[in-house]
């Protein structure tokens, strides 16, 4: 983004703010570091409302509010609205409580094929893994995504987003012995959902959302209110010190972790279930110990660590969202990521200390290492201000 400063970037991204999308520019990896390679929002946008070329181009007039960009955004820079996750969770819980199953359909579908008590969304691409897993965690025996209108929809390419999310959700559920609970189908032969007054959640606060989730979960003793909102693993924000960038766990990840905890322990060593949603983190011997990977991490999965004369990072895989910014921002290309993650480690909220090198051996700490320090500073997008 040559010549584009932080405030300009934030202003451009904020143009996406609408009834359907909320923007949090400081969570965008492209805003946090100029070497970020993430283009997921533009890659899935069916109308070209978001484009990455030499810089960010946003055309809010083209945005239809499908929510696909919010679904694929790993860091919560874009968040789905109208309905919010809180509202969707309340509606899902109500449907499941009454019928034992749940179906989702876009408003276009429902305008021609009404389905009693189906949960309406702007587009099936709005349904990320957290909402689908939450439906099963609430007790749904089957979850259907009704895609009968996708074939002739101008935004039909969004179906692939829904298909990927459904596949990931099924793999996660498979680790708990709940195989193939979620399916994309063109229609339901029989309306298996009973009609009832849909639970309303208009205006529900974020804290109210998680309190409601916790109240439902408390019956099986899986989590407590404090563990959802303020625990080390599931707290949304970590305290920001002077000179640090803000960190935030996306609400959809908080929901996903809480829903998985509600399901139970899962199968130990089931690495494949977690693929694509979390990453393992390691570094090669070329690492200088600069800790910039931790500085730029948008969720607090990586934090700076120093003990007994050694420097390094602390890594909490449950906070990782597989955004890849740690790898992109490493000026010596020492970061190694892979998605062979044990789901039980994710749910245990384990924090791993990873010493990089002795403090006195870290080049950026030595006097006379102006060249290394300058390389680090030049890699910071903060220099664009």
Residue 30 lies in a domain: yes
165 part of a folded domain: yes
CA-to-CA distance for 207 and 302, rounded, in angstroms?
A: 25
User: What gap in Å lies between CA 49 and CA 256, rounded to an integer?
Assistant: 28
Judgement on whether residues 230 and 87 belong to the same structural domain of the protein: yes
User: Per the domain annotation, does 206 fall within a domain?
Assistant: yes
- Domain membership of residue 215 (yes or no) is yes
* Any domain includes 205: yes
Same domain for 238 and 180, yes or no, is yes
- 177 and 286, same domain (yes or no): no
Structure tokens at 378: 């030049």
Other beta carbons within 10 Å of 224: 13
Where b means 16+ CB within 10 Å and e means fewer, 363-380 reads bbbeeeeeebeebbeebb
User: Quick count: other Cβ atoms within 10 Å of Cβ 303?
Assistant: 18
d(CA 121, CA 20): 10
Torsions phi, psi for 353 (to 5 deg): -85, 130
- Quote the tokens at residue 315: 């890594």
Walk along the chain (385 residues) and give the pLDDT tens digit of each residue: 444 555 666 676 666 666 778 888 889 998 899 899 999 999 999 998 888 876 677 888 888 889 999 999 999 999 998 889 999 999 999 999 888 999 999 988 998 888 877 899 999 999 999 999 999 999 999 999 999 999 889 888 899 999 999 999 999 999 999 999 999 999 987 555 543 333 334 444 555 545 544 444 443 333 332 333 333 344 455 555 656 788 999 999 999 999 999 998 766 666 677 778 999 999 999 999 999 999 999 999 999 999 888 899 999 999 999 999 999 999 999 999 998 898 989 999 889 999 987 666 665 555 444 444 444 444 444 433 3
DSSP 141-174: S-EEEE-TTTTT-TTGGGHHHHHHHHHHHHHHHH
State whether 119 and 249 are in the same domain. Answer: yes
The closest of 28, 148, 146, 15 to 77, measured between CA atoms, is 28
Residue 1: the pLDDT is 42
Instruction: Specify whether 90 is located in the same domain as 54.
Output: no
The per-residue pLDDT for 216 is: 43
The predicted pLDDT at position 22 comes to 87
pLDDT at residue 44, rounded to an integer: 93
Q: Are residues 102 and 232 both part of a single domain?
A: yes
| pLDDT score of 99 | 87
Cβ burial, residue 243 (10 Å; 0-12/13-18/19+): exposed
Q: What is the CATH number of the domain that holds 72?
A: 3.30.70.20
Whether residue 46 is contained in a domain is answered as: yes
217, 233, 264: which is the final residue of a domain?
264
Tell how strand 21-23 and strand 78-80 pair up: antiparallel
Let me know if 385 is exposed, middle or buried by CB neighbors in 10 A (0-12, 13-18, 19+): exposed
Tell me which residue of 122, 151, 160, 146 sits closest to 40, measured CA to CA.
160
Same domain as 259, residue 277: no
Does one domain contain both 317 and 351?
A: yes
240 and 94 in one domain? yes
Query: Which of 16, 48, 80 is the C-terminal boundary of a domain?
Result: 80
Q: What is the pTM of this model?
A: 0.80
As a whole number of angstroms, the distance between CA 139 and CA 240 comes to: 38
CA distances from 150 to 86, 146, 147 (A): 26, 9, 5
Same domain, 129 and 142: yes
Question: Are residues 243 and 101 part of one domain?
Answer: yes
**Residue 333's CB: how many other CB atoms inside 10 A?**
12
| 1 is a domain residue | no
Domain boundary, last residue among 264, 284, 301: 264
Q: Quick one: pLDDT at residue 20?
A: 79
Phi and psi at 204, nearest 5°, equal -60, 130
337 and 234, same domain (yes or no)? no
User: What one-character-per-residue DSSP string does 292-333 give?
Assistant: HHHHH-SSSSEEEEEETTEEEEEEEGGG-----HHHHH-TT-
Domains contained in the chain, number: 3
What pLDDT, on the 0 to 100 scale, is given for residue 266? 64
192, part of any domain: yes
Neighbours of 183 (CB within 10 A): 12
Q: Which domain holds residue 13?
A: 6-80
- CB 318 within 8 Å of CB 347: yes
């Amino acid at each position: 983004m040559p010549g584009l400063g932080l405030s300009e970037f934030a202003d451009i991204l904020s143009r996406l703010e609408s009834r359907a999308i909320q923007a949090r520019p400081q969570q965008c990896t492209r805003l946090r570091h100029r070497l970020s390679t993430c283009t997921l929002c533009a890659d899935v946008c069916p109308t070209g409302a978001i484009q990455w070329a030499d810089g960010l181009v946003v055309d809010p007039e083209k945005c239809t509010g499908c929510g696909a960009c919010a679904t694929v955004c790993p860091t919560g820079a874009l968040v789905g609205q109208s309905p919010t996750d809180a509202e969707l969770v309340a509606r899902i819980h109500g449907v499941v409580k009454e019928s034992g199953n749940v179906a989702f359909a876009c408003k276009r579908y429902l305008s021609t094929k009404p389905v009693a008590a189906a949960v309406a969304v702007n587009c099936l691409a709005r349904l990320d893994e957290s909402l689908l897993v939450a439906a099963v965690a609430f007790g749904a025996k089957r979850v259907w995504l009704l895609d009968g209108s996708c074939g002739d929809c101008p935004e039909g390419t969004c179906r692939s987003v829904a298909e990927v999310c459904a596949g990931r959700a099924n793999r996660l559920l498979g680790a708990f012995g709940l195989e193939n609970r979620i399916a994309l189908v063109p229609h339901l032969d029989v309306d298996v959902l009973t009609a009832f007054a849909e639970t309303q959640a208009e205006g529900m606060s974020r804290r109210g959302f998680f309190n409601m989730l916790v109240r439902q979960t408390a019956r099986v003793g899986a989590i407590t209110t404090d563990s959802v909102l303020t625990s080390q693993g599931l707290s949304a924000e970590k305290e920001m010190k002077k000179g640090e960038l803000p960190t935030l766990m996306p609400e959809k990840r908080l929901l996903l972790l809480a829903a998985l905890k509600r399901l139970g322990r899962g199968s130990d060593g089931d690495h494949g279930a977690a693929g694509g949603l979390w990453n393992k983190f390691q570094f090669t011997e070329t690492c200088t110990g600069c800790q910039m990977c931790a500085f730029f991490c948008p969720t607090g999965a990586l934090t700076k660590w120093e003990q007994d004369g050694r420097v390094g990072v602390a890594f909490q895989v449950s906070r990782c969202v597989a955004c890849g910014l740690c790898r992109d921002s490493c000026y010596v290309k020492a970061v190694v990521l892979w998605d062979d993650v044990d789901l039980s480690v994710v749910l245990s909220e384990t924090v791993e200390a990873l010493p990089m090198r002795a403090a006195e051996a870290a080049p950026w700490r030595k006097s006379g290492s102006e060249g290394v320090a300058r390389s680090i500073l030049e890699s910071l997008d903060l220099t664009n201000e």
